[in-house]
Amino acid sequence: METLTVKQKVFNSPVTKIVLALLVFMAVVIIGQQIASKLLGLTSLDKDYRNLLKGLFVSAAAVISYILFFKKYEKRKITEFATKGMVKNLIIGAIIGFVLQSLTILVIYLNGSYSVVAINPISFILIPFALMFTVAIIEEILVRGIIFRIIEEKLGSYWALIISSLLFGVLHLWNPNSTILSSLCITTAGFLFGAAFISSRSLWLPIAIHFAWNFTQSGIYGAITSGNEKTNSLLTAKIQGLELITGGEFGPEGSIQATLFCFITTAILLFLSHKKSRIIKPFWK
């Protein structure tokens, strides 16, 4: 039996793999943004279209760098970004994200805290579309594709789910207007995205849910997303009322009903994962 050297053990350890992957991936994203900005700045395209193309370019660079890095590092086929089943996962994920956010807004509306001020041209969705598409791909590759997946190999699905989701919540603590409730909801959303990956064994599903959740919130219903400034949106809306229901300055995803909807969907996905035998046990079991 071949004995691994100390150097090989260190190189193949989960910690080393995560650190190297994060460094390479973030370098590609940052450099990709700079290159795209410089090239598109030379064109006469409208700012909205430049942002859309920049988002698509950076997203493509992110996916390609992930595939190439782990194909070389782990010497395997990158099934989590397989084209087979991609369209199905993207459609299902988009539906889940849209429905969850729509239900969240519906509760705010029924509480008398949401009203439409104006309906804007369809072109208003370009900026939030490009932004949320890029954010979803980058965050899902970082948290689910790298951190969750590598931890899961050793500690199993549930420990990986707990660690990555708590980290996801903690990272959003630095967002403007963050609260304990908003952090709880973001952590629950982390469980949802992780459960989506376990259920499908594809990153396309959590990416689609994540994108649709954010885009529906800010690009369609005109709400704040994760405490950031409002973007252009299809609907200009007025949201005011009890912070527990509206999410306050953090946005609807910081509300109690958003947390509840994410929790229920997570439970359903984990139940389906058990039925499909897709839960990975920790190495000691």
Is 145 a member of any domain?
A: yes
**Cβ atoms of 14 and 150 closer than 8 Å:** yes
> Has residue 39 been placed in a domain?
no
Q: Is residue 218 one of the residues assigned to a domain?
A: yes
Q: Is 131 helix (H, G, I), strand (E, B) or coil?
A: helix
| Three-state SS sequence of 154-197 | HHHHHHHHHHHHHHHHHHHHHCCCCCHHHHHHHHHHHHHHHHHH
Whole-angstrom distance, CA of residue 233 vs CA of residue 217: 9
pLDDT for res 55: 86
**Would you state the pLDDT for residue 18?**
94
Cα–Cα distance for residue pair 1/238, rounded to 1 Å:
67
pLDDT score, position 3: 60
Residue 87 to residue 83: CA distance in whole angstroms: 8
CA-CA distance, 229 to 250, in Å (whole number)? 10
According to the model, what pLDDT value does residue 1 have? 44
Neighbouring residues of 88: CB distance < 8 A, sequence distance ≥ 6: none
Q: How many Å apart are CA 278 and CA 64, to the nearest integer? A: 26
Read off the pTM.
Answer: 0.92
- Per the structure, the count of domains in the chain is 1
Q: Which residues pair with 239 in a beta bridge?
A: 114
Q: Which pLDDT score, from 0 to 100, does residue 162 have?
A: 96
List C-alpha distances in Å: 166 to 82, 160, 162, 183, 260. 28, 10, 6, 9, 17
4: how many CB neighbours lie within 10 A of its CB?
10
Q: How far apart are CA 169 and CA 190, in angstroms?
A: 7
How far is C-alpha 149 from the chain's CA centre? 14
Per-residue pLDDT tens digits of the chain, which is 285 residues long:
456 677 777 888 889 999 999 999 999 999 999 999 898 888 888 877 888 888 889 999 999 999 999 999 999 999 999 999 999 999 999 999 999 999 999 999 999 999 999 999 988 888 888 889 999 999 999 999 999 999 999 999 999 999 999 999 888 888 888 888 888 889 999 999 999 999 999 999 999 999 999 999 999 999 988 877 788 899 999 999 999 999 988 989 889 999 999 999 999 999 999 999 999 998 887
Q: d(Cα 101, Cα 233) in Å, to the nearest integer?
A: 15
Do residues 112 and 241 lie in contact, with contact meaning Cβ atoms separated by under 8 Å?
yes
Flag whether 14 is in a domain: no
Residue 139 near residue 131, CB atoms below 8 Å? no
Q: Which domain holds residue 248?
A: 80-275
245 within a domain of the structure (yes/no):
yes
Flag whether 24 is in a domain: no
Decide if 227 is inside a domain: yes
Which of helix, strand or coil describes residue 69? helix
Q: Find out whether 151 and 165 touch, Cβ atoms under 8 Å.
A: no
Q: Are 48 and 77 in contact (CB under 8 A)?
A: no
Which among 214, 207, 212 has a CA at the least distance from the CA of 193? Answer: 207
Q: Pairing mode, if any, of strands 235-239 and 114-119?
A: antiparallel
Helices 86-110 and 256-275 pack at an angle, to 10 degrees, of: 150
In a domain, 113, yes or no: yes
